[in-house]
Amino acid sequence: MATARFRFYGDLAAFLPRTRRDLAFAYDCARAATLKNAIEALGVPHTEPGAIVVNGRNATLQRIVREGDTIEVYPWTRQPVAGRPQFVADAHLGGLARFLRMLGYDTLHENAIADREIRRLAQEERRIVLTRDRELLKCREVRRGAYVHARKAEEQLREVASRFGLAQHARPFTLCLACNLSLRPAHPDSVAARIPERIRARYVRFSECPGCGGVFWEGSHFARMREALARNLELPS
User: Residues 57-81: pLDDT tens digits?
Assistant: 999 999 999 999 999 999 999 998 8
Mean pLDDT of all residues belonging to the chain? 93
> Rounded to whole angstroms, what are the CA distances from 228 to 16, 224, 236?
33, 6, 11
Contacts of 13 (CB under 8 A, 6+ apart): 20, 21, 22
Evaluate whether 96 touches 130 at the Cβ level (below 8 Å). Answer: yes
Strand order in the sheet with 70-75: 25-29, 2-8, 70-75, 49-54, 57-59
Q: Classify burial at 107, counting beta carbons within 10 Å of its beta carbon; exposed 0-12, middle 13-18, buried 19 or more.
A: buried
CATH number of 78-171: 3.40.50
Residues in the chain: 237
Residue 164 pLDDT more than 80?
yes
pLDDT in tens, 90-114: 999 999 999 999 999 999 999 999 9
Q: How confident is the model at residue 236 (pLDDT cuts 50, 70, 90)?
A: very low
For residue 234, the model assigns a pLDDT of 58
Contacts of 103 (CB under 8 A, 6+ apart): 161, 166, 170, 171, 172, 229, 233
3-class secondary structure, 72: strand
What are the phi and psi torsion angles at 28 (to 5°)? -85, 110
For residue 126, the model assigns a pLDDT of 95
Question: What residues does 52 pair with on adjacent strands?
Answer: 59, 73
Q: What is the mean pLDDT of residues 204-210?
A: 92
pTM of the model: 0.89
Break the chain into its structural domains and give their ranges. 2-75, 78-171, 173-231
Residue 176 pLDDT more than 90?
yes
Evaluate whether 180 touches 101 at the Cβ level (below 8 Å). Answer: yes
CATH number of 2-75: 3.10.20.30
DSSP readout, 102-142? Answer: HTT--EE--TT--HHHHHHHHHHS-PEEEES-HHHHTSTT-
Give the amino acid at 170. Answer: A
CA 233 – CA 237 distance, rounded (Å): 10
CA 107 – CA 122 distance, rounded (Å): 12
